[in-house]
Amino acid sequence: MTAPASLCEPCVILVFGATGDLARRKIFPALLALHRRGFLHARTPVVAVSRRPTSVADLLAGLQPEDGGGDAQALHAFAASVRCIVFDHTEATLPAFVAAVDDVARERGAGAARAVYFALPADAFEPTAALLVKGGLFQGDGWRRLCFEKPFGHDLASARELNAKITRHFDESSIYRIDHYLGKELVRNLMVMRFANPLFGQIWNREFIDHVQVTIAETLGVEGRAGYYEKAGAVRDMLQNHLMQVLALAAMEPPKALDADSVRDAMVEVVRQLVPPSDGDFVLGQFAPGEAGGRPVPGYRAEPGVHPASDTETFVAVRACIDNPRWQGVPFYLRTGKRMGRRLAEANIVLRAQPGTLFRADRAVEGEPGPNVISIRIQPYEGISVEFTVKAPGEGLRLETAVMEHCHHCVYGLDTVEAYEILLHEFLAGDQTLFTRWDFVEASWRWVDAITAARDGQAAAFPNYAAGTSGPAQVEGLLGGGRDWIVSRDILS
Ligand SMILES: NC(=O)c1ccc[n+]([C@@H]2O[C@H](COP(=O)([O-])OP(=O)(O)OC[C@H]3O[C@@H](n4cnc5c(N)ncnc54)[C@H](OP(=O)(O)O)[C@@H]3O)[C@@H](O)[C@H]2O)c1
């Protein structure tokens, strides 16, 4: 990993899909933030590429600070580095497009390096990359880097096909497959927590850990992205990428070093060791009408753009088992859903009970020792907490659960650095550690495809949970062994 963050070499940054939701909400704000922090080189222009005409003012609308102070100056300076170029993605206009980019590079003194961000639908990735090669965008001796949004492919077969086409033109060292979860502070903290602290590192195995739960719950519905979500569903949209990344970081063996290949070697190894899920290992769901934020909301099938008989899943919970000596017999439960009761993302590590029965009711003990739980809260209130049993004050022996808390956002502030800002910096700095290597994509699709292949049996029961709840009732049965789903304390309550 590049540390500390530093000024990136000059290059031309091209953002394809500049008029899209992602570019507006995440990419341009992250580039502006990098500019403000002095990490974008003064000679680096940003080229916003779109099929429809747009303007710098339009793309940056909403980023205008209210105070008109220093931030306004930074925005003004950043806006001066942005050029909008319309490109209809045809061969006829390709020479003019490449010439326009070269002009911008010359005008700014940016040199021959090119960083291309594909904020495009996945089916436009390869045709666009192939056109750029054909048009000579990457001629010259500068480096070339391409950043592809997730999901990379729709299943194992389509991901392989996409990868084969892209690697005809570019080798793996130029390809950056982004998964913004890898840029989240508490996800990145997992490695530090595990491998820098004997307190956690020594107990991170089957001897001490009973099971692990990873939850990513959203309160939103599809929010105008039905065209994409109808084809994706929760398994492809969240499980194959975000949940698999968190699982890999929580379960991997210590990497040999901190370079990109060592870290990614360790991450892919654990995904390869996942036992293929069978029918009883997962529960799918789709939300029915219910409540969100105290207001009634329609069911998934009544959301704009969704087919009225859609069988797309909006929820998945799965029991993942890892076949290696560290994790034999320790289930990892992964779950995600839309229109859940509370928005959160967290990993809960549940330790085995202390052997022995010293604290029992027949010894006049009130209460019983609860499980020790290590919670890594990824969002919204970032932090790490440990639950353990203490004696309550006063006479007698009453047991209670206490919490040790590292409140990340109290110390460092909320959303200190946005994930996209971290990842764009790493992209421009040429560090691939936080980007998904092809073998990880391949191994995760292979595992996830077993779920999508067997999904029809469960889809017949959709919709099967009310909006605003914690998912289908069958999810309770997935845990077994007297375990309960855990949601960490709402630390603001
Ligand atoms: N939005 C998110 O929060 C989010 C989160 C994670 C990943 N992603 C991924 O990011 C990518 C972009 O998502 P988005 O939400 O920004 O999508 P979007 O709002 O639909 O925008 C897509 C952009 O791509 C352009 N485009 C569409 N089809 C094209 C084609 N065949 N050739 C060239 N340009 C085309 C659109 O241009 P026109 O305006 O001309 O149609 C638009 O600028 C997708 O791969 C998505 O899976 C998005």
State the pLDDT confidence band at 66, using cuts at 50, 70 and 90.
Answer: low
Give dist(CA 370, CA 390) in Å, integer: 10
In sequence order, the β-bridge partners of residue 213 are: 333, 348
Is 70 exceeded by the pLDDT of residue 385?
yes
Is 70 exceeded by the pLDDT of residue 374?
yes
Pocket test for ligand 1, best of 118, 120, 158 (most atoms within 8 A of CB): 120
Cα angle 430, 432, 434; round to 5: 125
Atom of ligand 1 nearest to the CA of 232: 47
CB of 344 closer than 6 A to ligand 1? no
User: Domain spanning 12-149 has what CATH number?
Assistant: 3.40.50.720
Give dist(CA 220, CA 218) in Å, integer: 5
Select from 20, 413, 394 the least CA-distant residue to 185: 413
148 C-alpha to center of ligand 1: Å?
A: 11
Give dist(CA 10, CA 115) in Å, integer: 10
CB of 150 closer than 6 A to ligand 1? yes
Do the domains 12-149 and 182-415+443-479 sit in the same CATH topology, yes or no? no
18 C-alpha to center of ligand 1: Å?
A: 8
User: How many other β-carbons are positioned within 10 Å of the β-carbon of residue 291?
Assistant: 14
The per-residue pLDDT for 362 is 83
**Two tokens at 175?**
């390809």
Atom of ligand 1 nearest to the CA of 225: 15
DSSP 8-state code for residue 369 = P
CB of 406 closer than 6 A to ligand 1? no
119 C-alpha to center of ligand 1: Å?
A: 5
CB of 122 closer than 6 A to ligand 1? yes
CB of 160 closer than 6 A to ligand 1? no
User: Which is it for strands 114-118 and 144-148: parallel, antiparallel or unpaired?
Assistant: parallel
The per-residue pLDDT for 493 is 41
Atom of ligand 1 nearest to the CA of 22: 16
State the pLDDT confidence band at 6, using cuts at 50, 70 and 90.
Answer: confident
pLDDT in tens, 250-263: 999 999 999 999 99
Give dist(CA 358, CA 36) in Å, integer: 59
Average pLDDT over residues 340-346: 95
The per-residue pLDDT for 139 is 86
DSSP H or E run through 364: none
Is 90 exceeded by the pLDDT of residue 60?
yes
CB of 301 closer than 6 A to ligand 1? no
279 C-alpha to center of ligand 1: Å?
A: 34
Domain boundaries, the chain: 12-149, 182-415+443-479
User: How many other β-carbons are positioned within 10 Å of the β-carbon of residue 17?
Assistant: 22
Give dist(CA 374, CA 405) in Å, integer: 10
Cα angle 325, 322, 381; round to 5: 110
Please state whether the peptide bond connecting residue 380 to the residue before it is cis, i.e. omega within 30 degrees of 0: yes
Is 50 exceeded by the pLDDT of residue 2?
no
Average pLDDT over residues 397-410: 93
pLDDT in tens, 463-483: 999 999 999 999 999 998 889
Which positions ≥6 away from 84 have C-beta within 8 Å?
Answer: 18, 47, 48, 50, 53, 54, 55, 56, 59
Give dist(CA 403, CA 386) in Å, integer: 6
User: Which is it for strands 209-217 and 114-118: parallel, antiparallel or unpaired?
Assistant: unpaired
20 C-alpha to center of ligand 1: Å?
A: 5
CB of 124 closer than 6 A to ligand 1? yes
321 C-alpha to center of ligand 1: Å?
A: 35
Is 70 exceeded by the pLDDT of residue 398?
yes
Is 70 exceeded by the pLDDT of residue 282?
yes
CB of 295 closer than 6 A to ligand 1? no
State the pLDDT confidence band at 363, using cuts at 50, 70 and 90.
Answer: confident
Residue nearest to atom 38 of ligand 1 (CA): 51
The per-residue pLDDT for 69 is 57
Average pLDDT over residues 452-457: 88
Handedness of CA 233, 235, 237, 243 (dihedral sign): positive
Is 50 exceeded by the pLDDT of residue 25?
yes
At 33, is the secondary structure helix, strand, or coil? helix
User: Domain spanning 182-415+443-479 has what CATH number?
Assistant: 3.30.360.10
Residue nearest to atom 44 of ligand 1 (CA): 121
Question: For residues 210 and 270, is the Cβ–Cβ distance under 8 A?
Answer: no
**Two tokens at 374?**
């290590």
